[in-house]
Amino acid sequence: MFKRFLNTTARISQESHFEQITRNGYSHNPSAIPPSSDPLLGYLTNLIMKDGKKARAQSHLKKTLTEIKTLTANTTEPVSLVRNAITMAAPSFRLSSSKKNNKVLHTPLALTERQRIRLAFQALIKASDKRNEKFLHQRLAREVLAILEQQSDVLKRKEEIHKAGAINRANLVQAMLRR
């Protein structure tokens, strides 16, 4: 499980020092969206970031969290939904290709926690690019909810990887004997 990234919402809610702000008749509660001190959100921000524009990436992530909150009608906390979606979409291993006697062997290799999160989030972004919504935060929010509803291509891709790994698990023993 993602030990480093889990159980931070309780810590962040204790640290929240924001007040409710009313703007243009809408009430906005910044404490509902955790600050970047959450390690998972910080890591996801760095994965979204392009060309060193971290503020833009943070803005995309915060808008994604607010979009999830509005789509779920404020029933659950958006960070926990994102965390669950990434946990569901994260593969346990990757397939490494090696050549032996003109034959390509695919060997399953275990992934670390960060590698699992990175692959899951990259797959989430890639699947969200196929959606019709105009803005990134809308596409990401809808893809997170699709993963939670078991209706995403990300989960199908993960299952394909796991099937291929199960088929090629015999190559793991051969790879270990060669070392």
* Domain layout of the chain by residue ranges: 9-92+102-178
Residue 118 above 90 pLDDT? yes
Instruction: Output the CA torsion sign for 130, 82, 71, 33.
Output: negative
Give backbone dihedrals phi and psi of 124, rounded to 5 degrees, phi first: -65, -45
- pLDDT tens-digit map of 54-78: 999 999 999 999 999 999 987 888 9
Whether domain 9-92+102-178 has CATH 3.60.10.10: no
Give the integer Cα–Cα distance in Å for 94 and 11: 33
Both tokens assigned to 62: 């915060």
CA distance 139 to 130: 9
Residue 129, pLDDT above cutoff 60: yes
Q: Could you give the angle at which helices 78-89 and 153-167 cross, rounded to 10 degrees?
A: 30
35-59 average pLDDT score? 87
pLDDT 10s digits, 9-36: 544 444 433 333 334 444 444 445 555 5
Among residues 88, 100, 94, the alpha carbon closest in space to that of 149 is found at: 88
Q: Which two tokens stand for residue 126?
A: 């890639």
pLDDT at residue 13, as a whole number: 46
What pTM did the predictor assign?
A: 0.74
Reduce the DSSP state of residue 87 to 3 states and report it. Answer: helix
Residue 133 has pLDDT above 60, yes or no: yes
Query: Tokens 């291993």 label which residue?
Result: 93
Q: Residue 33: its pLDDT value, please? A: 54
Q: Which of 5-19, 62-76, 81-95, 122-136 has the lowest mean pLDDT?
A: 5-19
The one-character DSSP state at 104 is E
Let me know: does 91 contact 161? Beta carbons within 8 Å: yes
Of the listed ranges 88-92, 94-98, 130-134, 141-145, the least confidently predicted one is 94-98
Predicted local distance difference test score (pLDDT) of residue 27: 47
